[in-house]
Amino acid sequence: MSVGSEQAFRQCPACHQAARLSERLSTAALAAHWERTRAHGPATPLQIRGFVEHDIVSEAVEIYRCPACALEFMHPTRTWSAAHYPHEEHSLGWDHAETLRALAALPPQTVLDIGCATGQFLGELNAQGHKATGIDFSEEDVVAARALGYEAYVADLSRENALVAQNRTFSVITLFQVIEHLEQPDLVFEGISRVAATGALLFIGCPSSRRYTRGFRHPELMGTSDFWDSPPQHVFRWTPEALTRFTARHGWAMERTAFEPLQPYHAAAHLAGLGAFTGRPWARRAATLGYFLRLKTSKLTGIRLFFAARR
């Protein structure tokens, strides 16, 4: 399908309904945002632009929205190649805490954490008495996790791997800040089906479609979302309904969805911090107050969406 077709339709990956083109973003503009972040370490702005253009392989990104489940998905569905992925600080968030609260009431479980990074969550799971295993595409992160004593592997569930070959199964599967990056989520969930035990629990954390950064104009907003919520970083923008329908096709029954609660003051300070207030502290304080007052009466949420299901 060519970029630029105003009447283009695509099938929703979550519920197979016809989705309509809702936005078109310039690859050059996306590259300009990434150049400003300098998230690629020593890479020059020209090199960063080359990374974005190489990985998107198109002059523009089309965004489609499903009228049935509100999933937003991208064309081309392309994410960073391994050599171009920006540096990220790994930390645990509200969705990790929600999962730990749910698991605290259960006897020891066998847990597979997909996208385990350097193993922080593996450590929390082990501390609760569970037997945690992690997988990640980053060899560097897996080496770091192993150095801390965690069981971790370089693996991709969309392909055959050692876990499948060993016929290992897990009573809990977790994916935090992963599903929005997957170019082929169906293949990954087919792999999950092979390693999920009967009655297994599934916990997913991803960006909230209603988060406060999508509700206000700010320098990082591009179209209707943050620039990093588009290729080559993210290729899906999930909603509770989309996750419910998508996982149901792979044998999961939704048990709970929740949006991270909004903390108006912290959100206001974040939004004000995105503005250009260098050397103007009073202007930044005024902006923070303005955002705070508007957030107090909004229906926006915190950054993350939490989803739990059972097989």
**How far from 216 is each of 108, 210, 212, 285, CA to CA, in Å?**
43, 11, 7, 17
Both tokens assigned to 50: 């080359």
Inform me whether the pLDDT recorded for 165 exceeds 70. no
The residues pairing with 304 across neighbouring beta strands, listed in sequence order, are 207
Does 76 sit behind a cis peptide bond, omega within 30 degrees of 0 on the bond before it?
A: yes
pTM of the shown model: 0.93
Q: Which of 32-41, 88-97, 159-168 shows the lowest mean pLDDT across its residues?
A: 159-168
Q: What pLDDT, on a 0 to 100 scale, did the predictor assign at position 3?
A: 45
d(CA 4, CA 75): 11
46-69 pLDDT, tens per residue?
999 999 999 999 999 999 999 999
71-106 pLDDT, tens per residue?
999 999 999 998 899 988 888 999 999 999 999 999
Give me the mean pLDDT over the 285-307 stretch: 96
The H-or-E segment that residue 22 falls in is: strand 18-26
φ, ψ of residue 164 to 5 degrees: the values are -70, -45
Q: Which of 40-54, 78-92, 153-167, 265-279 shows the lowest mean pLDDT across its residues?
A: 153-167
φ, ψ of residue 50 to 5 degrees: the values are -65, -40
Query: Among 147, 113, 145, which residue's Cα sits nearest to residue 132?
Result: 113
Q: What pLDDT, on a 0 to 100 scale, did the predictor assign at position 170?
A: 97
Give me the mean pLDDT over the 7-11 stretch: 71
